[in-house]
Every structure is written in structure tokens, then in C-alpha cells.
Amino acid sequence: MGKWTMQRTLKLVTVALIMVFLSTSQAYAASDAPYFTYTSDSEGYTIRTQDAYTPVTQIGEINGQRLDTPEHVFVDEQDYVYITDSALNKVFVLDGKLRFYKELTSDKFSAVQSTFVTKDSIYVVDAGAGQIYIFDKSSFAFKKEISKPDSPIFTEGYDFSPTHIAVDLRGNIYVRSAGSVNGLIMLNRDGEFITFFGGNPLKVPFLDQLRSSLLTKTQKDKLEKVLPDVPSNLAIDKKGFIYTVTSSVESNPIKKFNVSGTNYYPDGIIGTYSMESVWVGGHNTVYSVSSDGWIFEYDANGNLLFMFGGKDFNSSRLGLLNRPVSIASNSTDEVIVVDQGMKLLQIYRSSEFSSAVHQAMDAYQNGEYAKSQKLWEYTLKYNSTFDKARIGLGEAYLRDGEAGEAYEEFKDAQYKAGVSEAFWEIRQSWLQNHLDVIFALLLSLLIIGYAHKFTNRKYQYWTKIKDRLKVIYKVKVISDLMFIFTFLRHPLDGFYQIKYQNRVSRKSATLIYMLIFAVFILHHDHTSGLFVEKQGYFLHQLWIIFGLAVLWMVSNYLICSISDGEGRFRDVYNATAYALSPILVVLPPLVLFSNGLTLEQSVFYHLPIQAMMLWIAFLMFFMIKDIHSYEVGETVNVVFKSTFTMLIIGLFLFVLYSLGSQLLDFGYDVITEASKKW
């Protein structure tokens, strides 16, 4: 009896544990988002991260009515939600808990498209009637309507077809009008035209520009006109910045304009085609949604914070979108998306991870740097590779006077602007603490210099040192290496000595090539990361450069051989080495110097590099001219022919490599198949 009871007890415990495990797994799966969330690193690449928002509910019916063609959502300062439906021709109003509050209807409505709500007014855009109706916010009483402006540009035929609007604190109305290639239409509070605002730049493909340059005026007039892209939607923040999104462009689809029309967002903002709507959230973050279901959230500077969502192909899965057309958020960071394809609203709630990110951003903007540090450290516990957290933590450290810690955080995130700013602070602090040592060192060097001149005049010891060094200079390799400095001072004489006097040997030239190779590695590994990307495939690139150099020498020699060139291949080989010798003179000290520079002093790094490249180009040109005894015109002709020959040989080698790879793969497959049947 006891044994039976023990067996039964064990079975019951086992079944109970299995049920608990299954119930826990099901609950987790139900709360898990049906999509991945991505963010961007400091280099602009998208990487996966923790869920920033999770779907919580869908709303397809309001006050007993099914949504038919929902068009737009707007959330006011009290978190009231305004949903326009063009088929039902009304505006639904929900309270902060997404419960039905009121609905706005009018006999004037034809096909309501969108709304904008201020403290005392509700602006309703009727796309069907081409009108903007203004209602009292509390009573919903009609106040006035704004029609097509009577400005000459509109009376002469410019279309006024409003679909979305934004209103600033002065009452000026920014109108997104269908087909308005000049940008937004800016009206004053009375509906009078002021100007066009925030238009997209005209982008003409290069081939069209080239074709246009070859056509006559009559032919140009017959061509189809290329017009700027029309913004798809707009939003406004509390500071008066206007945001536009353009669905027909992929590069920089979202723009942030000040009152003068200057775009504050940087080039290269991460986005995609078909971005339909834009909204400014409560943390100075910007939301956008694309028609293929992706939701984007950016910080105040246009950097991607989160990207999530996906396309719903009639599966009705919570969180996926079929054809989203509008987006908004409330004060609790709930994101509301109008899915016109599914005829409903999708609601997303921020996760603990994204809430911590938002709170850290707010604390930093409010000057609470200690609080910001703790919050960023908290987010790093969720995702240690979240570059935005490291950048935010670095900025908090920097504002708190901890430049060393800030430098490390920025360096981990590979955030160059932050690394430069933190290094500037570190450098300033070091200079202030060691200024007396620096002056003492400079004074010592000055005294030593004067003492050297005085003692050398009396004892002539420097002449004795030079005489002893002459013994070392008699070594051929050292003599050839020291010839670099003579060559760089008098390059034309140097080429003459290389060709006619055999001044240098091939061993010395080979050593110079090896030194150049080593200097490139030194430059990559030890130059400040502010100026050189630390790439893992650098050696591969270096071998490509080496191959191009060999290809150039071979091509140039072959062309010169059939163009009455007098130089031998050894002359070309040796002279090219010395023509590249400025690399040995410029790069090593520049590597050391770069580690004391910030981005603001980048000109002191790039200018020597550019001067070195021009110096090498000058030497290479006169190397071809003097080694082969050409005139200037002949030299230019040979350079172009040599470049073309390089391309032909390179193409031939590429085809040979491709065919060889396929032949090897075929042979391997044959051998593998034969070995299986053996």
C-alpha cells in the first residue's frame, strides 16, 4: 500500500510539473511579439535588439460601428484619440483609455481625411470637398472653414487638394496638398497664402542630365518634366519644427524643418520606401510607419532607435499590419496605428527596455545626468551591445565632468563625434596639468641647441661624427635608402641617376616596397580611430593595392615598349619605388601626430595626405617622362593607354579566375561522385 501510494504521488507530481511548464510556455508565447525589433549601431547598420513595443489589442468597432475606411489618427495633449473614417464620414473621439467618448459629424463633410487638434479647436481636413473645417474643441460647434486661397498662383491653376495639416502656436496652417510639388502650402490663421514650405529637392538621374545636355531646346520641351517628390504627411512638435515624410523616396524620407525651411536631419537617415505617416512623440522621438508594416522610432537627431513590425498577409495576427496609413502615440508611450487594410487600429505598448531608454533620454535633456547614467546602465543590462545606451552614457559622463569614462563608452560604441569631444576634454586637462613640464622641456631643448652650436664651433665634434657615419653610408642598401632624401629634393636629377648611372639596385627598391607595405600597416593600426576605420579585412585590401601596383608597372612597361620608350623594366621598377617614397616620409610622423588631434583639427591630418598624393602623382608622371625620354604630350598619352591596358588585363584575369574556379568545382564534384560510386 505504501509502495503504491509513493508511485502514485510521483506520477501526480510529474504531471503537475508538466502542466506548470506547459502553461508557462503558452503564456510566454502569447505575450511574445510576432516580429523582430531592430536598432542601428553607430555606423548606421541595423542589428537585432530586445522588443521595444509589444502588441496589446486591436480596435475594429467603435460605438457599435465597424470601421470602414479609417484614414488617420491624432492624439491631443489630454490623450484623447481622434480617428477619421472617410467612408463613414465622421470623426470618432476616444478617451485616454481608448473608450468611446464622442463623434464629430457635419452636413458639410464629403470625405473626411484627417484631423489636427489644438487647445481650443479641431481642424478637420475634407479631401473630397477640398476644405478645412474648424470646430470648437469642447462643444464641437462649427467655427469656420478654409477654402482654396485667392492668391494668384492658385487662381492661375495650382491645385489645392488638402489631405493633412499641422498648425503652429501662431495659428499658421501647414497644408499637405496632393500633387503639390513645391512642398507644403503655408497659410496664415485666416487661410491666406504665405509661401511654400519644406519641398523636396529635385533629383534628376545622371543619364537624364547627360541626355538633356545633348538635346536642343525644342527637344527638351517635348520631354516629360521631372518634378520633385511630394511629401506624404507632416507633423509638428512643441518647438515649432515641421516634420515631413515622403513615401516615394528611400534616402532621407523624413525631414525636420525649422521656420526658415532648413532641414535639421542628417543625410543617410535610415528609412525605406512607402513611409506613409509621421508623428512626434512625448520624448522628442519621431515615429513613422511604412505601408509594408514597418514601424520606425527615431531620436531628436534623426538616429534610428527602434524598427519593428511586419506585413500581415490576411492572417489577422496581433501586431502585424496589412496596409497601415497613419500613426500616433500618447503620453504613456502607447503607439496607435491605423491599419486600413484590416479596417482597425493596432495598439502597441512600450516594453521596460524602451521605457528605460525614453526615461534616460528625458533625464539627460533635463540636465539630470546622474539619473541618466543609472538609466543607461540599466538599459545595458538588457542589451550590452546597444550603442545608443553607450552613447547616452558617454554623454552623461561627459556632462558630469568624467571625460575618461565618457571616452571609453564612446570608443566602445565607435561614436567618433563623442570620442573626439571626450578626447578634447582629456587633452585640455592634461595640458593644463603639465603646462610647466612642457615649458621646461621646450626651454631645455632651446638651451641644448645653443650649447650644441657653441661647443661644436670650439671642438668640431659634429664633423668627426659625420666622418664616422660615412663608413656606414658605404653599405649599398643604406646608401640607397639615404638617397631617398636626395631624390625628393631633386627628383629630375634622381631619375637621371637611376636610369643612366644605376644609382640604386633592385634589392633596395624591393626593400622600399616592403617598407611601404609595413608603413601602410602601421598607418592602419596606429593612426587615430577618428581618421582611419579599423577594418578586419585591411590586409585583403592591402594585397589588392599591391596587385594594382604590379599591374600598373607591367601595363606601363608594355605600353612604353611599343611606344618607343627607352626605359628598361628594372628602371621602371626602381624609379617607381622612389616615386612612392613620399609615403615613407609623410605617413610615419603623421601617424604619431594624428593621435593628438580631434575631428575639429582633421584638416591637419587630411591636408598632408592630399599633399602626399599630389606629390606622388607628380613624381609618377615625370618618372614615365624621364625614364622613357618622352615629351609631355606623349607622357599623357602613355598614361591613358597604360590605364586602359590595366583594365583589359584586370578583366582578363577576372575571367580566368572565374573559369578556373568553376573548373576546379567541376573537378571536385566529379571526384566526389566517383569516390561515392567506387
Give the confidence band of 18 by pLDDT, cuts at 50, 70, 90.
very low
**Per mean pLDDT, which range of 119-128, 206-215, 663-672 is the poorest?**
206-215
Residue 119 is given by DSSP the state: S
Distance of alpha carbon 385 from alpha carbon 200, whole angstroms? 35
Structure confidence at residue 675 (pLDDT): 77
Structure confidence at residue 366 (pLDDT): 87
Mean of pLDDT over the chain: 86
Percent of all residues in the chain with a pLDDT value above 90, rounded to a whole number = 52
Whether 314 and 299 have beta carbons less than 8 Å apart is answered as no
Q: Is the pLDDT of residue 532 over 70?
A: yes
- pLDDT (average), residues 32-46: 86
- pLDDT tens digits for range 416-462: 999 999 999 999 999 888 888 888 998 998 998 888 788 877 777 77
Closest to 353 in 3D by CA, of 52, 49, 571 = 52
Closest to 344 in 3D by CA, of 312, 306, 296 = 312
Distance of alpha carbon 134 from alpha carbon 125, whole angstroms? 9
Q: Is the pLDDT of residue 344 over 90?
A: yes
Percent of all residues in the chain with a pLDDT value above 70, rounded to a whole number = 89
- What is the per-residue DSSP string for 124-148? EEETTTTEEEEEETTT--EEEEE--
- pLDDT (average), residues 212-233: 65
- pLDDT tens digits for range 106-148: 999 999 999 999 999 999 999 999 999 999 999 999 999 999 9
* Residue 147, SS3 per DSSP: coil
Tell me the pTM: 0.75
Distance of alpha carbon 307 from alpha carbon 47, whole angstroms? 10
- pLDDT (average), residues 385-404: 89
Structure confidence at residue 44 (pLDDT): 77
- pLDDT tens digits for range 637-656: 888 888 888 888 888 888 88
Element (H, E) at 194: strand 193-197
* Residue 263, SS3 per DSSP: strand
Structure confidence at residue 12 (pLDDT): 39
Q: Is the pLDDT of residue 185 over 80?
A: yes
* Residue 23, SS3 per DSSP: helix
Q: Is the pLDDT of residue 4 over 50?
A: no
Rounded to 5 degrees, what angle do the CA atoms 338, 342, 347 make? 40
Whether 424 and 404 have beta carbons less than 8 Å apart is answered as no
- pLDDT (average), residues 201-208: 64
Whether 171 and 131 have beta carbons less than 8 Å apart is answered as no
Helical residues (DSSP H) of 434-536, grouped into ranges? 435-459, 461-473, 476-489, 491-500, 506-526
Half-sphere exposure of 112 (CA within 13 A, CB side): 29
Structure confidence at residue 218 (pLDDT): 60
- pLDDT tens digits for range 491-501: 999 999 998 88
Distance of alpha carbon 191 from alpha carbon 196, whole angstroms? 14
Q: Which residue has the higher pLDDT, 19 or 651?
A: 651
Long-range contacts of 649-652 (CB under 8 A, 24+ apart): 649/551, 649/554, 649/555, 650/551
Q: Which residue has the higher pLDDT, 390 or 673?
A: 390
- pLDDT (average), residues 3-24: 40
Q: Which residue has the higher pLDDT, 476 or 210?
A: 476
- pLDDT tens digits for range 247-273: 988 888 999 999 888 998 988 888 888
The x, y and z cell numbers of residue 484, run together, are: 631617398
For 125, 524, 553, the CA distances from 542, given in Å and listed in that order, are 60, 10, 17
Edge to edge, the sheet with strand 286-290 lists 46-49, 37-40, 304-309, 294-298, 286-290, 275-280
Distance of alpha carbon 638 from alpha carbon 618, whole angstroms? 15
- pLDDT tens digits for range 297-327: 999 989 999 999 999 877 778 999 999 999 9
Strand partners, 133: 124, 145
Distance of alpha carbon 624 from alpha carbon 571, whole angstroms? 10
The distance from CA 260 to its chain's CA centroid, rounded to whole angstroms, is 25
Structural domains in the chain, CATH included, are 55-202+227-351 (2.120.10.30), 363-433 (1.25.40.10), 475-660 (no CATH)
Q: Is the pLDDT of residue 6 over 60?
A: no
- What is the per-residue DSSP string for 290-309? ETTSEEEEE-TTS-EEEEEE
